[in-house]
Structure 1
Amino acid sequence: MAHTLLVAGTASHVGKSTVAAGLCRYLADRGVSVAPFKAQNMSNNARATPGGEVGVSQYVQARAAGVAPSTDHNPVLLKPRGDGESQLILDGEAVGHFEARGYYDEHWGDALDVARAAHGRLTESHDVIVAEGAGSIAEINLHDRDLANVETARFADADVLLVADIERGGVFASLVGTLELVPDDIRDQVAGAVITKFRGDRSLLAPGIDEFEDRTGVPVLGVLPYDDPGLPEEDSVALPPVGERSVVGADDGVPGDESITVAVPRLPRISNFTDLEPLAREPGVRVAYVPPDATLDEFDAVVLPGSKNTVDDLLALTNAGFGDRLQSFDGPVVGLCGGYQMLGEAITNAAIEGTGDTDRVEGLGLLPVTTEFSESKTVEHVQRDLDGVGPLSGASGTVEGYEIHMGDSTLTDEAARPFDGDGAATDSVLGTYLHDLFVNEIARGAFVRNAFESAGIDSPAANERESGDPYERAAGLVADHVDLGPLGLADW
């Protein structure tokens, strides 16, 4: 019988995904057959597997564990699309769009059965399952239907590792409060706690740790220093709210007048924004998430990201005048997936994805492309031969990534097709359905080089700022700072 460890949290964005990925790689490095699991995920950052879609964290954790990502690792995925509605995906396949009440009343039982079955299959072929919870395990209003936390702990008979983030303050209060509010049977399964994102002298925490352990009987098994291994973000909690601006990638030592800034409109329903993370790791490159009504005068390039609701996000950009400003922008422009569709002349059958009943929505008009939506959905891992033009001029070779989209885009006039006959490009604008485009060095390097050239700035050395494999860095955090004995993992 496989041993399951549930990495649960006191809140969202406390470091659960990093700890889980670190545990997966740590165990895999020691020859343990380990697999990740998250019964229910809510995220628009998804990845394609042979069986369908999974959340990005479980895809990453599977890679860390050295196993092929599969839908068993994340059997239930909810992809928010705005107005309180989400697309429900079971075992990788889209079931439909539901509001929260409809999901819980009509489909939660099916989701529970799917999650139980997926976990059972994983236990048949692995020794250890590292499960990740969602948000807080102490949401008392959801304890009767908390699939990722409470139900997983129960049906997997899991040891629970409670993770709390000290950076946001009140770490001991959040730990104690969480233990007070979890169901009694789950409280008995808590094997220990880990404090994350700590800066400073660890000895200063000792009195608080001692009192916490005396009060609760739960040992603090580790204090992780503040360190970002470079794993992709799971959800938009890491992004600025709509209407605000945030810049990432500004800690590389390159002076501002020797760097470029890539503007990314902060779409209300942004998805797969992890596509931008490789750019932010390039020396001298800043990625600025900007409101739809932002001016583009100070920026050197623009990337339109994916969207869970392309039609409504396109309307948000149009209403904010973004398209008019983009028409007069003279730097490189790239649209990824939904961003590609927005750059075209129009979207037809728009009511299939939008929240209104309009059949045709005018695009931003930078590419001679029309997109027609349909009910069918493309979900696949792909390789393409890139013949770089426009923003990717100079790039040549094979690129790979994944496609997750509804609709097909066709040319309305002459344009280059740089990806084996897919995508579209002009001298300064390029669109593609290929997510993870900038993970490929040949595409990323060409885009960065062309953006620097367009800005009239010499490009710094083309190497990434991050040092080392992010999976190994995450494993090192766990190995160096967490006592694995009480978790039943020390002997593996």
Structure 2
Amino acid sequence: MARTILVAGTASHVGKSTVAAGLCRLLSDRGVSVAPFKAQNMSNNARVVPRAPETVDQDGGPYGEIGISQYVQAHAARVSPTTDQNPVLLKPRGSGESQLIVDGRAVGHFEAGSYYENHWESAREAAVEAHSRLAKDHEIIVAEGAGSIAEINLQHRDLANVETARFADAEIILVADIERGGVFASLVGTLELMPEDLREQVRGVVITKFRGDLSLLDSGLREFEERTGVDVLGVLPYDDPGLPEEDSLALPSTDERAVFGDDDGVDAEQTVTIAVPRLPRASNITDLEPLAAEPGVRVAYVPLDAPLTKADAVVIPGTKNTVDDLLAIQKAGFDRRLREFEGPIVGLCGGYQLLGKRIYKADIEGTNLDPEQSMLSGVGLLPVETTFSTEKQVVDTTLELDGSGPLAGAEGPVSGYEIHMGTTQSTDTVETPFSRNGESTAALGASDGDVLGCYLHGLFENEVVREVFVDSVFAAAGREQSTGSTVESSPYDQAAELLVENCSLEWLR
């Protein structure tokens, strides 16, 4: 049986994903066969991967979904991502409901109570079996917990933390974020509230996001170890290796400077701003990260009531609930501001559906619609309409692109993945720049003037698409792009280096 290391936390967003990815790359560098694992994840940032062969049936198809963190960690471990690495995924869709995905396949929409009462046991069984399959093929499993391991109201059904630690007999590394303040209280309180049988499995703690003089922390570290008998394995400096974020928690609040992309030292006349509306149910926001890494490009996440006067382009991300987010942007008047906007506009997946003329069978997607609201008007910038059904498209794909609109000049194969419900068709003559197997239809994407929409997540990860789109934004803004280069060093290597340079790793032996 493989050795399992559980990277648990005192809270959400404390750096568990970075530590887990760093361990995966570090162990891989040492020649160890390692794989990531997260028994249960809650995230709307997902990637399409092959399903474990043992879980494929006639109805499910060969592809499924996992959270972005496990996809990233698989690449850090230099193994192919599969659904076994994240067997249970919950995708929030509003009104207390989440879509439940088990072994990569969508099971249905459930409120929390219904999930725990009727589906949790089978989800746990799927997680145990997935871990067992991984353990047969690898020497070490690096498991990531979720939120806090010390939620005493949830410990009897905490699949990602407590249950994983038990069924995998995992060694536990506890991660805490010092930037939030009260790090020692968080650590001591977490150890105190953890199930008693799991305290003996704690190998040590890692403190993340430290700024300043480390010597000022020494006395606190010593007293913590004396009080608890638990070793401090390391203190990581505040240094973001650039791994994709798991969910929208990483975005700044609306009262902060919600801008991504480094324009330090770049003349204002050599920068452009791409506005991204903060859809209440935004998903796959990692689609925007390749743009933020481009020299002179600033990606600004803007509230739905914000003006677009300072934006040079708009990208509408995917959404877990197209209908409810359409109603939200209409209520805020953002649809009107989109129609008045004169720069390039791109809609991805749900963002594409929003840009169309109409949505049919909206009651299938919406959470609080009256029966007479089965048809809704969209933003109206593309002559297409979308009809929802209960079927879900989940596929890893490569399309041929003959670019038009904001992507005019981009040609050739582009790869990515599709995760969506609903099918889209044209209502009038429209450019259809994407094709599959020689067939080019609005079911893949469409463009009209400076507006383009498509279903391909990962679109901007394709260099030819990214370069052409950025060039078109600079051209539309009447500015010249600054010369420079994006960071080429691997974020996986940077995460591993954080551990090597700042942690004691003797326990790994």
Please say whether Structure 1 and Structure 2 have the same fold, judged by a TM-score greater than 0.5: yes
Aligned to 2:55: none
Question: In structure 1, what is the Cα distance between the partners aligned to 2:394 and 2:279?
Answer: 22
Amino acid at match of 1:484: L
AA at the equivalent of 2:500: A
Deviation by residue 1:379-409 (Cα, 9 ceiling, x = unmatched): 1111112112111112122211111000111
- SS at structure 2 position matched to 1:150: helix
- Report the secondary structure of 2:397's partner residue: strand
Q: Residue 318 in 1 paired to residue 339 in 2? A: no
List aligned pairs for 1:1-20, cutoff 5 A: 1-20=1-20
Query: Is the deviation greater in 123-132 or in 99-108?
Result: 99-108
Which residue is 2:59 aligned to?
A: none
> Aligned pair 1:235/2:235, yes or no?
no
Matching residue within 424, 448, 470 for 1:409? 424
TM-superposed CA distance for 1:253, in Å, is 2.5
State percent identity of aligned pairs: 66
- What amino acid is aligned across from residue 346 of structure 1 in structure 2? R
Q: In the alignment, what sits opposite 2:480? A: 458
CA distance in 1, matches of 2:224, 2:263: 36
CA shift in 2, pair 1:409/1:454, >3 Å: same
1:48-101 alpha-carbon deviations (Å, 9 max, x no partner):
012201000001111111111111000000000011110101101111111111
Deviations 1:6-25 (A, max 9, x none): 00000000000011011111
1:158 aligns to 2:173 (yes or no)? no
Task: Quote the residue 2:468 is aligned against.
Answer: 446
The AA in structure 1 aligned to 2:276 is V
> In the TM superposition, what is the alpha-carbon distance from 1:251 to its structure 2 partner?
4.7
Q: Kindly report which structure 2 residues correspond to 1:71-470, keeping only aligned pairs within 5 A, or say none.
A: 71-241=83-253, 246-355=258-367, 356=369, 357=371, 358-420=373-435, 421=440, 422-461=444-483, 463-464=485-486, 466-470=487-491
The answer as to whether partners of 2:263 and 2:297 remain within 8 angstroms in 1 is no
Aligned to 2:57: none
Shift in Å, 1:215: 0.3
Encode CA deviations 1:183-230: one digit per residue, 9 max, x unaligned.
Answer: 111111100000111112211111110000000000000111111111
Deviation at 1:242, TM superposition (A): 6.7
**Inter-partner Cα distance in structure 2 for 1:419 and 1:390:** 12
Q: What amino acid maps onto 1:475 in structure 2?
A: A
**Is the CA contact 1:243–1:291 (under 8 Å) kept in the aligned structure 2?**
no
Whether the 8 Å CA contact 2:262–2:293 is kept in 1: the answer is no
Partner Cα distance (1:178, 1:257) in 2: 50
- Tell me by how many angstroms 1:451 deviates: 0.4
Contact 2:432 2:446 in 1 (8 A): yes
Distance 1:349 1:242, change over 3 A: farther
Provide runs of 4+ in structure 1 moved above 2 Å. Answer: 240-245, 250-253, 255-258
- In structure 2, C-alpha distance between the alignment counterparts of 1:359 and 1:473, rounded to whole Å: 49
In the TM superposition, residue 281 of structure 1 has moved relative to its aligned partner by 1.1
Distance 2:403 2:450 in 1: 12
Alpha-carbon distance in 2 for matches of 1:256, 1:176 = 48
What SS is found at the alignment partner of 2:80? coil
Letter in structure 1 aligned against 2:38? K
Moved more, 349-358 or 121-130: 349-358
SS at match of 1:135: coil
Match status 1:59 vs 2:82: no
SS class of match (1:141): coil
Rounded Cα–Cα distance in structure 2 between residues aligned with 1:381 and 1:460: 34
- The aligned amino acid for 1:16 is K
Letter in 2 for 1:262: I
Deviations 1:308-364 (A, max 9, x none): 000000111111111111111110000000000000101111111111132111110
Which residue of structure 1 aligns with residue 61 of structure 2? none
Per the TM alignment, residue 245 of structure 1 is displaced from its structure 2 partner at its CA by 6.4
TM-score by length of 1: 0.97
Shift in Å, 1:476: 1.1
Distance in 2 (alpha carbons) for counterparts of 1:159 and 1:438: 38
Pairwise CA distance, 1:236: 1.2
Measured after TM superposition, the shift of residue 250 of structure 1 is 3.9
- 1:482 shift after superposition: 1.7
Structure 1 residue identity aligned to 2:202: V
Q: For each residue in 1:138-161, what CA deviation from the matched residue of structure 2 results, as whole angstroms up to 9, or x when unmatched?
A: 101101000000000000000000
- Counterparts of 1:200 and 1:21, CA distance in 2: 25
**What CA RMSD, in Å, does the superposition of the two structures yield over aligned residues?**
1.3
Contact 1:386 1:398 in 2 (8 A): yes
Q: Is the 8 A contact 1:242 1:266 kept in 2?
A: no
Q: Match of 1:134, SS? A: coil
Unaligned runs of 5+ in 2: 52-63
CA contact (8 A) 1:252 1:283 kept: no
The alignment's TM-score, normalised by the length of structure 2, stands at 0.94
Structure-1 separation of matches of 2:406 and 2:499: 40
Structure 2 Cα separation of the partners of residues 265 and 40 of structure 1: 28
Distance (whole Å) between structure 1 residues aligned to residue 226 and residue 325 of structure 2: 51
Q: Give the gaps of 5 or more residues in structure 1.
A: none
**In 2 relative to 1, CA 433–251 (structure 1 residues): closer, same or farther, beyond 3 Å?**
same
1:211 aligned counterpart, secondary structure:
helix
SS state at 2:157 partner = coil
Q: Indicate whether 1:483 and 2:500 are aligned.
A: no
SS at match of 2:434: coil
- Is 1:473 equivalent to 2:500 in the alignment? no
Contact 1:223 1:481 in 2 (8 A): yes
> Is the 1:387–1:396 contact (alpha carbons within 8 Å) kept by the matching residues of 2?
yes
Q: Which moved more, 1:400-409 or 1:251-260?
A: 251-260
